[in-house]
């Protein structure tokens, strides 16, 4: 379901604000609507053979193994807006009515799913995409023209196995390819293996690929093994390419293994790692404690320098930046801050604060790390869908607002918070009370018209 808040200014300068929601009318949603009941067997979690049977039933009945959930992100390209999850094509949405228009396959040239995090190249307006697939080709990169009408480039990177990679980066000249050992595929269930399996002893690498390059022209850099879903930004700095993301060691998908105490599992994976604690288990403790991280890839020497850039005692994820700086050096990033305790109690991600990261400002107490500011929510309030909106005529990178949905579990009231990014810790500039609850979701977005 899409939840939209519209801001319109009248000729008299008064704001008119309205709220609307609507289900994405995906092919599978339409199918279930006609039956007036859920019809797909949930097949992403469970015992391996049961999952396989679920997939087969879904394929036989509907021609698709899982639903088109369209629930991960909403993005804009060439003035058009699309709802996306990475297991299906994006669905184009009429942003005024929230009506679903059609799947977007770039005039038939792209027939497999693509990432929930496509990146627009600031200088050209082109959109860089990638698609992962359990079948070959396992990883494709594409470049869509700035008018959204043509697929300018499509290349198979020749991955030997399917990896569940969530994000891609761009710099002015390069596409930045994340590769980590989070394997996935339904055929795995026939060997009694889970559909998703992160190999914590596996190998990770980052590829630097010329924008219109191919598998052979990628320069690969080995990095410490990780399983990081989200990037802040990437940019070139003389001989180096700098990649910043929120690094985790484990994967949140598929969640706790069967036959374990879920609450204990969540508590341990979301807590900061303490290698000296009693009973420390490196495959469990702190593996989802995500922290901002920097990889510096030296194109001349081939050497990678990497490390955490904050030393905060809270987990941060869902990074956003001022997108006018995508692919070029930027000074600020914003993340949602995990409430580890609330999350561990429910197994549902809950975010109690928003962080503003000052990439170029050292922390006052420890100059090795960068400075971080927080916007704290009240007790029992949680946010989702955080987004940075640049002011139209802004001068500085942080001239703008951080906007988010906030739900208060005490009062059951949902609001939109608009926070001035330059006065980040202060009370929000505006709090807009919504007529109904907006559930916690994944990524949000904002579009000027
Ligand atoms: Fe994401």
Q: What is the per-residue pLDDT across 280-316, written as a single tens digit (0 to 9) for each? A: 999 999 999 999 999 999 999 999 999 999 999 899 9
Taking the centre of ligand 1 as the mean of its atom positions, its distance from the CA of residue 185, in whole angstroms, is: 20
Tokens of 247: 């690094």
167 to each of 8, 164, 329, how far by Cα in Å? 33, 10, 19
Taking the centre of ligand 1 as the mean of its atom positions, its distance from the CA of residue 443, in whole angstroms, is: 7
Taking the centre of ligand 1 as the mean of its atom positions, its distance from the CA of residue 182, in whole angstroms, is: 15
Taking the centre of ligand 1 as the mean of its atom positions, its distance from the CA of residue 168, in whole angstroms, is: 11
Taking the centre of ligand 1 as the mean of its atom positions, its distance from the CA of residue 245, in whole angstroms, is: 12
Angle (nearest 5°) at CA 327 between 89 and 224: 85
Taking the centre of ligand 1 as the mean of its atom positions, its distance from the CA of residue 273, in whole angstroms, is: 23
Q: Where residue 276 falls among pLDDT bands split at 50, 70, 90?
A: confident
Residue 12: CB atoms within 10 Å = 5
Taking the centre of ligand 1 as the mean of its atom positions, its distance from the CA of residue 229, in whole angstroms, is: 7
pLDDT above 80 (res 258): no
Handedness of CA 48, 52, 58, 59 (dihedral sign): positive
Taking the centre of ligand 1 as the mean of its atom positions, its distance from the CA of residue 24, in whole angstroms, is: 18
CA 401 to CA 424: how far, in whole Å? Answer: 9
Q: Quick one: average pLDDT of 161-170?
A: 97
How many folded domains does the chain comprise? 2
Taking the centre of ligand 1 as the mean of its atom positions, its distance from the CA of residue 60, in whole angstroms, is: 30
Taking the centre of ligand 1 as the mean of its atom positions, its distance from the CA of residue 66, in whole angstroms, is: 19
Which pLDDT does position 205 carry in this prediction? Answer: 98
Look at residue 209 and tell me if it is in a domain.
no
Taking the centre of ligand 1 as the mean of its atom positions, its distance from the CA of residue 300, in whole angstroms, is: 32
Which pLDDT does position 38 carry in this prediction? Answer: 80
Q: Quick one: average pLDDT of 425-432?
A: 98
Beta bridge partners of 297: 241, 304
Taking the centre of ligand 1 as the mean of its atom positions, its distance from the CA of residue 310, in whole angstroms, is: 21
Taking the centre of ligand 1 as the mean of its atom positions, its distance from the CA of residue 345, in whole angstroms, is: 23
Q: Is 443 annotated for ligand binding?
A: yes
Taking the centre of ligand 1 as the mean of its atom positions, its distance from the CA of residue 279, in whole angstroms, is: 32
Beta bridge partners of 61: none
Which pLDDT does position 263 carry in this prediction? Answer: 83
Burial group, residue 77, by CB count within 10 angstroms (0-12, 13-18, 19+):
buried
Taking the centre of ligand 1 as the mean of its atom positions, its distance from the CA of residue 86, in whole angstroms, is: 10
Q: Where residue 274 falls among pLDDT bands split at 50, 70, 90?
A: confident
pLDDT above 90 (res 63): no
Of 348, 52, 41, which is closest to residue 195 (Cα–Cα)?
Answer: 52
Look at residue 340 and tell me if it is in a domain.
yes
CA 194 to CA 182: how far, in whole Å? Answer: 11
- Give strand ranges (E) for 145-273: 151-156, 168-170, 174-179, 182-184, 196-198, 204-210, 219-223, 230-237, 240-247
Q: Return mean pLDDT, the chain.
A: 94
Taking the centre of ligand 1 as the mean of its atom positions, its distance from the CA of residue 9, in whole angstroms, is: 31
Taking the centre of ligand 1 as the mean of its atom positions, its distance from the CA of residue 232, in whole angstroms, is: 11
CA 294 to CA 213: how far, in whole Å? Answer: 24
Among 44, 67, 90, which residue terminates a domain?
67
Residue 62 structural domain? 27-67
Look at residue 52 and tell me if it is in a domain.
yes
Instruction: Determine contact, residues 290/351, Cβ cutoff 8 Å.
Output: no
pLDDT above 80 (res 43): no
pLDDT tens profile 359-371: 999 999 999 999 9
Handedness of CA 397, 399, 403, 408 (dihedral sign): positive
Query: Strand 168-170 and strand 400-408: pairing?
Result: unpaired
Taking the centre of ligand 1 as the mean of its atom positions, its distance from the CA of residue 277, in whole angstroms, is: 31
Taking the centre of ligand 1 as the mean of its atom positions, its distance from the CA of residue 4, in whole angstroms, is: 19
Taking the centre of ligand 1 as the mean of its atom positions, its distance from the CA of residue 249, in whole angstroms, is: 16
Instruction: Tell the residue number behind the tokens 């999952």, with chain if given.
Output: 51
Taking the centre of ligand 1 as the mean of its atom positions, its distance from the CA of residue 166, in whole angstroms, is: 6
Look at residue 252 and tell me if it is in a domain.
no
Taking the centre of ligand 1 as the mean of its atom positions, its distance from the CA of residue 115, in whole angstroms, is: 9
Q: Quick one: average pLDDT of 171-185?
A: 96
CA 399 to CA 77: how far, in whole Å? Answer: 23
Taking the centre of ligand 1 as the mean of its atom positions, its distance from the CA of residue 322, in whole angstroms, is: 17
Residues 6+ apart with CB under 8 A from 100: 24, 25, 26, 83, 91, 92, 93, 94
Among 19, 45, 67, which residue terminates a domain?
67
pLDDT above 80 (res 45): no
Look at residue 337 and tell me if it is in a domain.
yes
Taking the centre of ligand 1 as the mean of its atom positions, its distance from the CA of residue 230, in whole angstroms, is: 6
Of 312, 314, 357, 310, which is closest to residue 337 (Cα–Cα)?
Answer: 314
Which pLDDT does position 344 carry in this prediction? Answer: 81
Look at residue 40 and tell me if it is in a domain.
yes
Residues 6+ apart with CB under 8 A from 421: 332, 334, 356, 388, 398, 399, 400, 401, 402
Taking the centre of ligand 1 as the mean of its atom positions, its distance from the CA of residue 167, in whole angstroms, is: 7
Look at residue 358 and tell me if it is in a domain.
yes
pLDDT above 90 (res 257): no
Among 10, 36, 67, which residue terminates a domain?
67
pLDDT tens profile 320-361: 999 999 999 999 999 999 998 888 888 788 999 999 999 999
pTM, two decimals, is 0.96
CA 74 to CA 83: how far, in whole Å? Answer: 4
Look at residue 348 and tell me if it is in a domain.
yes
Q: Is 166 annotated for ligand binding?
A: yes
């Amino acid at each position: 379901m899409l939840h939209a808040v519209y801001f319109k200014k009248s000729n008299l300068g008064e704001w008119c604000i309205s709220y609307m929601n609507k289900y994405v009318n995906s092919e599978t949603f339409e199918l279930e609507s006609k039956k007036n009941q859920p019809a797909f067997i949930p097949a992403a979690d469970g015992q391996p053979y049961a999952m396989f049977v679920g997939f087969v039933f879904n394929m036989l009945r509907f021609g698709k193994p899982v639903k088109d959930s369209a629930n991960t992100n909403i993005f804009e390209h060439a003035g058009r807006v699309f709802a996306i999850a990475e297991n299906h094509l994006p669905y184009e949405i009429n942003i005024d009515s929230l009506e679903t228009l059609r799947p977007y396959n770039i005039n038939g040239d792209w027939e497999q799913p693509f990432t929930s995090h496509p990146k627009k190249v600031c200088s050209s307006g082109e959109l860089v995409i990638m698609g992962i697939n359990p079948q070959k080709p396992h990883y494709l990169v594409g470049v869509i023209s700035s008018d959204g009408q043509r697929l300018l480039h499509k290349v198979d990177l020749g991955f030997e196995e399917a990896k569940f990679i969530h994000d891609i980066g761009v710099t002015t000249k390069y596409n930045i390819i994340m590769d980590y050992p989070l394997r996935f595929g339904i055929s795995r269930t026939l060997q009694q293996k889970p559909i998703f399996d992160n190999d914590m002893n596996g190998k990770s690498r980052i590829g630097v690929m010329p924008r219109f390059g191919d598998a052979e022209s990628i320069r690969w850099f080995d990095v410490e093994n990780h399983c990081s879903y989200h990037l802040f930004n990437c940019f070139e700095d003389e001989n180096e390419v700098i990649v910043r993301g929120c690094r985790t060691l484990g994967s949140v998908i598929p969640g706790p293994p069967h036959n374990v105490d879920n609450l204990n599992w969540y508590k341990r994976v979301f807590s900061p790692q303490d290698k000296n604690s009693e009973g420390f288990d490196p495959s469990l403790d702190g593996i989802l404690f995500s922290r901002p991280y920097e990889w510096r890839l030296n194109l001349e020497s081939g050497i990678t320098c990497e490390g955490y850039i904050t030393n905060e005692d809270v987990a941060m994820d869902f990074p956003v930046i001022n997108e006018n700086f995508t692919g070029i050096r930027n000074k600020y990033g914003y993340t949602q801050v995990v409430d580890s305790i609330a999350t561990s109690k429910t197994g549902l991600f809950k975010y109690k604060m928003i962080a503003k990261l000052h990439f170029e400002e050292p922390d006052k107490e420890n100059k090795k790390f960068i400075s971080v500011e927080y916007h704290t929510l009240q007790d029992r309030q949680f946010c989702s869908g955080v987004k940075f909106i640049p002011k139209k005529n802004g001068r500085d990178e942080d001239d703008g607002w951080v906007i988010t949905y906030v739900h208060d579990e005490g009062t059951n009231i949902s609001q939109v918070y608009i926070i001035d990014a330059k006065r980040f810790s202060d009370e929000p500039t505006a709090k807009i009370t919504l007529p109904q609850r907006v559930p916690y979701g994944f990524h949000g977005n904002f579009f000027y018209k």
